[in-house]
Amino acid sequence: MTIEQKIAGAVVTGIKELYGADVKPEQVQLQKTKKEFKGHLTLVVFPFLRLSKKSPEQTAQEIGDYLLKNEPAVAEFNVIKGFLNLTVACSCWIDLLNEIQSQPHYGIRPVSADAPLYMVEYSSPNTNKPLHLGHVRNNLLGYSLSKILEANGYKVVKTNIVNDRGIHICKSMLAWQKWGNGATPESTGKKGDHLIGDFYVLFSNKLKEETAALEAQGMSKEEAEAASPLMQEAREMLRKWEAGDQEVRALWKMMNDWVYAGFDETYKMMGVSFDKIYYESETYLVGKAKVLEGLEKGIFYRREDGSVWADLRGEGLDEKLLLRADGTSVYMTQDIGTAKLRFDDYPINKMIYVVGNEQNYHFQVLSILLDKLGFAFGKGLVHFSYGMVELPEGKMKSREGTVVDADDLMEEMINTAREISQELGKLDGLTKEEAEDIARMVGLGSLKYFILKVDPRKNMTFNPKESIDFNGNTGPFIQYTYARIRSVLRKAAEQGIALPDALPTNITISEKEEGLIQMLANFAAIVKEAGETYSPALIANYTYDLVKEYNQFYHDFSILHESDESLKLFRLVLSANVAKIVKEAMALLGIEVPERM
């Protein structure tokens, strides 16, 4: 039971005794006391005036007197107008720290056998190019959200849908066929996804040359693209793929396998993973069958050219294409098929799609279409819509001047972390392997923290240099503080100091220390709120506030040189629990913390 719950219960009992009235615990409003007033918690007494039939000051005084006499958690109180400021007894803070100390994973709820199942979809790459900066934010948000939901006691299935078919894939395949000279990842020394991305760019450049020549003959841009021999060949390749042509399918499989090997390396470096991967090539036909079924039932309609549409004007939207005139699928068709397969595979209670805000309309439509097709989960799907992420101009190299490659970005972050850490002496005395591991942790921690501390719904600019700063609201600042605490605890162990399982409650501690315990206790509520609002940013910013508060404490108070043995033990236990919560919180963001630095 928290201190707030204890005091709220005492207020309920007190109001019954003082005024003969029943109130529920949720009607008792306790908030953190403002800094300018003395106390830890403030009770708002205005809701009880109709019961006391007295002034706010008199009511607050009577409730305060009652609590002081009957609730050991309240040490003293003061009244400011209609607010009752309560000072919590020192022993309560020690009790609370002991409770946090007794739980190795304080604030994390275990997953029970009958817990609801949440499926979180993220990443969704195309197999014609490497992952880029946009994918980085997507993957980090999806993975962190999955960890946070798990910490709230839900079963979580992390899933990915790979867009592995379509005209864009055929463009890379055709370019490799025409100009690849049998190039492979082994023969070129390139990751497979980068190699295929190069052929996609090559196709685009060759197409530009062709269309420019046709436009010079008087054609419009659209006419030139339609007449382009290259585009005609790409469309023919797609038709052959859809018809199951063995040669085209073999080429497609070989090139996709190269890309998947490349993706796996990127995902591993990024520290994200999936429980189940779906492929558009396996889901689009299922979606097509559901659309044709909807057509038979009169849910959808066919136009004269043979294309199939959904009329959503009754829902305040427009008409939505589901199958093209030539019978080929669109993304919406694939998403319907993927949703069906997922719900066949798992007893999903909630489906969450982590997709950028440019797809808001798409998911609004998908929800309606799934509902119309009779899927019970249609209305309840969640589109976790996040903002775009960009780099400041000229900060880092990018492909074609616009797309920032995820592998390049991570490598650059690790290199920068290594340089800055060396300059600051953070790697002194470490082996080469230890130094490299810390450079990796700090580089990737900087990237992840900088992206995840921002409200996911907002657009953001990622500034690499700003993110690798050992001061301020950054990953390295938090990582360094954790390493500092671990160093203090190692020194204590070297001096033969063993931390007790529980501290005696008769220790007198400072307001700063009480505030730190209160912040530690808040972790459970933060995890719960982050799960309810789908916001890793809450975890990130809580961790920064906790670390900032601890650093002030570390600066102002002696730990190992404290002469009072009971106080020394208390401060070591407090420090150990700050480190424990920091490590737990950073793990929810997918960030590692180094033991030494």
Tens of pLDDT, residue by residue over 114-135, are: 999 999 999 999 999 999 998 9
pLDDT > 70? residue 6: yes
pLDDT bin (cut points 50, 70, 90) of residue 469 is confident
Q: How many Å apart are CA 283 and CA 266, to the nearest integer?
A: 25
At which of 52, 72, 88 does a domain end?
88
- Percent of residues, the chain, with pLDDT higher than 70: 98
pLDDT > 90? residue 82: no
The helices-and-strands tally (H runs, E runs) of the chain is 21, 14
Q: What is the DSSP string of 320-375?
A: EEEE-TTS-B-HHHHHHHHHHHHHHHS--SEEEEEEEGGGHHHHHHHHHHHHHTT-
- Segment 242-251 shows an average pLDDT of 95
Residue 373: both structure tokens together: 């097709």
CB 386 within 8 A of CB 357: yes
CB 428 within 8 A of CB 357: no
pLDDT > 70? residue 395: no
CATH number at residue 488: 1.10.730.10
Please count the residues of the chain: 597
pLDDT bin (cut points 50, 70, 90) of residue 2 is confident
- Segment 173-200 shows an average pLDDT of 96
Residue with tokens 């022993």: 91
Residue 379's pLDDT is what?
A: 86
Element (H, E) at 311: strand 308-311
- Residues in Cβ contact with 406 at an 8 Å cutoff, skipping those fewer than 6 apart: 130, 131, 132, 133, 135, 136, 266, 270
Q: How many Å apart are CA 373 and CA 290, to the nearest integer?
A: 8
pLDDT bin (cut points 50, 70, 90) of residue 464 is confident
Q: Give residue 218's identity as a one-letter amino acid code.
A: G
pLDDT > 80? residue 595: yes
Taking all residues of the chain, what is their mean pLDDT, rounded to a whole number?
93
Least confident of 160-174, 326-340, 520-534: 326-340
At which of 27, 61, 88 does a domain end?
88
- Segment 349-359 shows an average pLDDT of 95
pLDDT bin (cut points 50, 70, 90) of residue 399 is very low
Reduced to 3 states (helix: H, G, I; strand: E, B; else coil), residue 405 is strand
Residue 450 lies in a domain: yes
End-to-end CA distance of the chain, in Å?
37
Supply the DSSP symbol for 112. Answer: P
CB 129 within 8 A of CB 405: no
Q: How many Å apart are CA 491 and CA 497, to the nearest integer?
A: 9
Residue 62 lies in a domain: yes
Its pTM stands at 0.91
Q: How many CB atoms lie within 10 A of CB 452?
A: 25
Element (H, E) at 74: strand 74-80
pLDDT > 90? residue 81: no
Residue 498 lies in a domain: yes
- Residues in Cβ contact with 182 at an 8 Å cutoff, skipping those fewer than 6 apart: none
- Segment 376-383 shows an average pLDDT of 88
Supply the DSSP symbol for 457. Answer: T
Residue 224 lies in a domain: no
* Angle ∠(415,421,424) on CA atoms, nearest 5: 145
Residue 489 lies in a domain: yes
Reduced to 3 states (helix: H, G, I; strand: E, B; else coil), residue 433 is helix
Structural domain boundaries, residue 11: 3-88
Residue 462 lies in a domain: yes
CB 476 within 8 A of CB 593: no
224-228's contacts with Cβ under 8 Å and 24+ in sequence apart are none
CB 363 within 8 A of CB 397: no
Element (H, E) at 581: helix 565-588
SS (H, E, C) 188-250: HCCCHHHHHHHHHHHHHHHHHHHHHHHHHCCCCHHHHHHHCHHHHHHHHHHHHHHCCCHHHHH
- Residues in Cβ contact with 538 at an 8 Å cutoff, skipping those fewer than 6 apart: 526, 529, 530
166 phi/psi in degrees, rounded to 5: 120, 175
pLDDT > 70? residue 402: no
Q: How many Å apart are CA 414 and CA 445, to the nearest integer?
A: 9
Q: How many CB atoms lie within 10 A of CB 60?
A: 27
At which of 58, 88, 118 does a domain end?
88
pLDDT bin (cut points 50, 70, 90) of residue 400 is very low
Residue 389's pLDDT is what?
A: 87
Residue in 587, 454, 534, 542 with CA at minimum distance from that of residue 154: 534
Residue 1's pLDDT is what?
A: 72
Least confident of 383-397, 428-442, 495-509: 383-397
Q: Give the CA distances from residue 254 to residues 56, 196, 267, in Å, rounded to whole numbers and listed in that order.
A: 77, 11, 20
Residue 457: both structure tokens together: 């719904």
302-310's contacts with Cβ under 8 Å and 24+ in sequence apart are 310/365, 310/369, 310/372
Residue 377's pLDDT is what?
A: 82
CATH number at residue 46: 3.30.1360.70
Residue 37: both structure tokens together: 């007033």
- Residues in Cβ contact with 172 at an 8 Å cutoff, skipping those fewer than 6 apart: 128, 196, 197, 199, 200, 203, 255
74: β partners: 88
- Residues in Cβ contact with 154 at an 8 Å cutoff, skipping those fewer than 6 apart: 111, 115, 116, 117, 118, 531
Residue 470's pLDDT is what?
A: 86
- Segment 468-494 shows an average pLDDT of 95
Burial class (CB in 10 A: 0-12, 13-18, 19+), 401: exposed
Reduced to 3 states (helix: H, G, I; strand: E, B; else coil), residue 578 is helix
Residue 398: both structure tokens together: 């990018």
Structural domain count, the chain: 2
Residue 235 lies in a domain: no
Residue 14 lies in a domain: yes
pLDDT > 70? residue 496: yes
